[in-house]
């Protein structure tokens, strides 16, 4: 994080120059290190990113270094259907992250969004499409195919068998036909042909899955893989995230440990470009005023813990993880609710805000704030029940998931 913050002044000077003189900005960008170029792209508003990337001398060296969520935001801003040039330069991990963040709705893939991403990958060329298919979960590819085509497997010894009407085949074994008239199958056909030509076993596995496997099991496995990857990006599972809305008994809201119990948070790779929080004395949120009075180590620990809390809010509230506005909105909600909890605990124990923040875990402060002001704070689709301090909110029947 310190390294990112150190790159910001140079990046912002370059952005100012780019708005005044593109020719000079192009020359100045070429003199920067790749890390400084990445910082310049990420510091740019989404509306400027395409223009900045156009000034970068070797975008193929910069795009793979963008945080995965920032690449997703950039693709969505230009339009996923027009983002093939970005995806062609992205790493396999970035492409999969884009799908994890944006191609899901709740606990299942969002077919319309998945269609857009696969169409853009097909437009990026056969090499990119093949890389993406090999990196993606096979279950997600199978769900994409299943949404568009019926697949029939020719019986090995039935000479009288006839393929479905309008079905086509590449090898005389699997026959597939569109589920809906006038459905644009061009991207899907490109994918099928590329797999048949370049990775026959994946081709065979996918068509067999559409033909033989249960949709519910395919969705469940795709969700499990996605959940694990999102946890690596700092987004806990939905069940885990919903703990922030667990009830506390009214008489326990003001509890405060006698000793400092907050563990120092370890640094982790943030999927977004964020270099600081508004931890200034003039902040409207008391939690930021409190952390501004602490030392550098404590502020750094708070930074990562607070981003982690905001991510829990995003997952628990089932917000769109691929939307650039989600993190600012969850940071605001986390600050507002945790500040309410901080002020209550500090007042009840006659301690100052900074000391209280050092002694009470951030997640606990958020839960206190929820208990003080539950209206409009808890997500409406799943209310936890019971009033025990350690009670867990119900998961709505899902055993896995980190929905967007």
Domain boundaries, given as residue ranges, for the chain: 1-65, 81-230, 234-372
From first to last of the 404 residues of the chain, give the pLDDT tens digit: 457 889 999 999 999 999 999 999 999 999 999 999 999 999 999 999 999 999 999 999 999 999 999 999 999 999 999 999 999 999 999 999 999 999 998 788 999 999 999 999 999 999 999 999 999 999 999 999 999 999 999 988 777 888 888 899 999 999 999 999 889 999 999 999 999 999 999 999 999 999 999 999 999 999 999 999 999 999 999 999 999 999 999 999 999 887 766 655 567 788 999 988 877 767 889 999 999 999 888 888 899 999 999 999 999 999 999 999 999 999 999 999 999 999 999 999 999 999 999 999 999 999 999 999 878 898 876 444 444 444 444 333 333 333 33
Q: What is the pLDDT of residue 157?
A: 78
Rounded distance between C-alpha atoms, residue 106 and residue 355, angstroms: 39
Q: What is the pLDDT of residue 262?
A: 60
Residue 79 · residue 117 · CB < 8 Å: no
Rounded distance between C-alpha atoms, residue 212 and residue 153, angstroms: 9
User: Structure tokens of 391?
Assistant: 């009670």
Q: Which of 296, 303, 235 is nearest to 274 (CA)?
A: 303
Q: What is the pLDDT of residue 257?
A: 83
Q: What is the pLDDT of residue 253?
A: 93
Q: What is the pLDDT of residue 261?
A: 65
């Amino acid at each position: 994080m310190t390294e990112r913050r150190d790159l910001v002044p140079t990046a912002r000077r370059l952005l100012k120059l780019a708005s005044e003189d593109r020719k000079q900005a192009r020359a100045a960008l070429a003199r920067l290190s790749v890390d400084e170029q990445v910082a310049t792209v990420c510091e740019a508003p989404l509306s400027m990113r395409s223009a900045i990337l156009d000034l970068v001398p070797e975008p193929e060296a910069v795009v793979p270094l963008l945080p995965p969520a920032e690449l997703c935001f950039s693709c969505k801003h230009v339009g996923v259907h027009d983002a093939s040039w970005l995806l062609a330069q992205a790493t396999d991990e970035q492409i999969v992250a884009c799908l994890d963040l944006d191609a899901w709705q709740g606990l299942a893939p969002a077919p319309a969004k998945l269609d857009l991403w696969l169409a853009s990958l097909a437009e990026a060329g056969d090499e990119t499409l093949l890389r993406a298919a090999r990196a993606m979960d096979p279950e997600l590819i199978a769900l994409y195919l299943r949404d568009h085509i019926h697949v029939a497997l020719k019986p090995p010894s039935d000479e009288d068998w006839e393929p479905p009407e309008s079905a086509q085949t590449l090898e005389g074994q699997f026959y597939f036909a569109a589920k809906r008239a006038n459905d644009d199958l061009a991207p899907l056909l490109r994918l099928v042909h590329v797999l048949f030509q370049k990775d026959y076993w994946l081709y065979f596995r996918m068509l067999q899955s559409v033909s033989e496997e249960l949709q519910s099991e395919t969705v469940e496995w795709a969700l499990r893989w996605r959940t694990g990857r999102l946890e690596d990006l700092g987004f806990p599972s939905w069940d885990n995230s919903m703990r922030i809305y667990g009830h506390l008994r009214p008489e326990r809201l003001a509890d405060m440990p006698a000793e400092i119990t907050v563990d120092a948070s370890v640094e982790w790779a943030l999927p977004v470009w964020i270099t600081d929080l508004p931890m200034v004395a003039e902040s409207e949120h008391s939690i930021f005023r409190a952390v501004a009075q602490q030392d550098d180590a404590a502020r750094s620990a708070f930074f990562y813990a607070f981003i982690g809390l905001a991510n829990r809010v995003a997952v628990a509230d089932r917000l769109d993880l691929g939307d650039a506005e989600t993190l600012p909105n969850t940071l605001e909600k986390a600050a507002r609710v945790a500040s309410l909890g901080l002020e209550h605990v500090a007042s009840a124990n006659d301690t100052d805000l900074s000391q209280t923040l050092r002694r009470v875990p951030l997640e606990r402060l958020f839960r206190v704030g929820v208990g003080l002001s539950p209206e409009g704070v808890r997500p409406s689709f799943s209310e936890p029940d019971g009033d025990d301090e350690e009670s867990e909110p119900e998961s709505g029947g899902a055993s896995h998931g980190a929905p967007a």
